[in-house]
């Protein structure tokens, strides 16, 4: 049985991932999304999923997208393709990196308090954001000269070999340690992937920030729960939100 090509599949004529990246669901509860709800991975569009998908667009003959010139890389992309969107988003990030180089001194080319301003369009898809993030991490490490911006230790590259006395069952040994890119304003608190919100840290310094953020979120949750209990005691008609986990 021949399968009609769907315009939204990455490979239209056979089972593949869907570029729509929708988080909506069909009436029977079947998940229709690029990324699974439980975070286990992408969802492939097979025959049964396509039959229930309300967004499918079948075509006897899938028209080939035309090639259009790109004002950023000066090459050509298929109109509406991921490569076109990636080029546009990455160009926006490079503009911000260049602006930060002009406006801030070397070694402090980020905002001390971070920022929530996004370096690309708010409609950029999750797939493009992930691809840009891989490039942006490398750019931030080069910008910071592969040096921790807190303790000043230099790695002379993305990683270094360090001696760990706990390795090999306590007998000691060497392991590889990599630099990490830190969000000054955490994503959980509205921070973005803007270059001014990113700085290079060694694993030890990054762990300090992670611990402080975790403690802060736990305290904030306790305060909200305490306030909720107080409101519930004052109002008999108060209904607790089962999804309130912050």
List, for residues 16-51, the tens digit of each pLDDT value.
877 665 444 444 444 444 556 666 666 777 777 777
pLDDT of residue 14: 78
Query: Distance of CA 82 to CAs 8, 49, 77, 79, 161, Å?
Result: 12, 23, 9, 9, 37
pLDDT at 60 over 60: no
Interval 178-213: pLDDT, tens = 999 999 999 888 899 999 999 999 999 999 988 888
Alpha-carbon dihedral angle through residues 214, 219, 220, 221, given to the nearest 10 degrees: 90
Please give the share of the chain, as a percent, with pLDDT higher than 90: 26
Q: Are 136 and 198 in contact (CB under 8 A)?
A: yes
Our measurement of the distance from residue 197's CA atom to the centroid of its chain's CA atoms, rounded to an integer in Å, reads: 14
Q: Are 176 and 193 in contact (CB under 8 A)?
A: no
pLDDT at 54 over 80: no
pLDDT of residue 29: 45
Separation between Cα atoms, residue 36 and residue 19, nearest integer Å: 13
CA angle 126, 179, 159 (to 5 degrees): 120
Q: Are 34 and 127 in contact (CB under 8 A)?
A: yes
Separation between Cα atoms, residue 164 and residue 175, nearest integer Å: 7
Domain segments of the chain as ranges: 1-63, 67-210
Determine the 3-state secondary structure of 164 from DSSP.
strand
pLDDT of residue 139: 94
Separation between Cα atoms, residue 183 and residue 63, nearest integer Å: 42
Separation between Cα atoms, residue 201 and residue 145, nearest integer Å: 11
Separation between Cα atoms, residue 8 and residue 16, nearest integer Å: 10
pLDDT at 116 over 70: yes
Separation between Cα atoms, residue 136 and residue 197, nearest integer Å: 12
The structure's pTM equals 0.65
Average pLDDT, the chain: 79
pLDDT at 245 over 60: no
Interval 204-238: pLDDT, tens = 999 998 888 888 778 878 888 877 777 776 766 55
Token pair for 49: 């999923």
């Amino acid at each position: 049985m021949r399968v009609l090509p769907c315009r939204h599949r990455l490979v239209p004529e056979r089972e593949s991932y869907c570029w729509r990246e929708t988080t909506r669901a069909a009436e029977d509860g079947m998940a229709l999304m690029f990324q699974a709800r439980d975070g286990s991975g992408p969802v492939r569009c097979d025959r049964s999923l396509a039959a229930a998908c309300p967004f499918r667009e079948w075509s006897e003959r899938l028209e080939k997208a035309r090639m259009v010139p790109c004002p950023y890389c000066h090459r050509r992309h298929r109109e509406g393709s991921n490569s076109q969107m990636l080029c546009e988003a990455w160009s926006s990030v490079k503009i911000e990196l260049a602006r930060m180089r002009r406006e801030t001194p070397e070694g402090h080319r980020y905002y001390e308090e971070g920022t929530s301003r996004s370096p690309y369009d708010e409609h950029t898809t999750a797939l493009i954001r992930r691809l840009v993030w891989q490039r942006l991490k490398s750019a931030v490490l080069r910008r910071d000269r592969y040096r921790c911006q807190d303790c000043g230790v230099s790695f002379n590259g993305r990683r270094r070999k360090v001696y760990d006395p706990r390795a090999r069952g306590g007998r000691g040994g060497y392991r590889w340690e990599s630099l990490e890119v830190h969000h000054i304003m955490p994503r959980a608190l509205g921070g973005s992937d803007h270059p001014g919100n990113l700085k290079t840290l060694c694993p030890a310094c990054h762990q300090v920030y992670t611990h402080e953020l975790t403690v802060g979120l736990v305290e904030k949750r306790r305060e909200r729960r305490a306030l909720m209990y107080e409101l519930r005691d004052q109002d008999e008609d108060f209904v607790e939100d089962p999804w309130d986990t912050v």
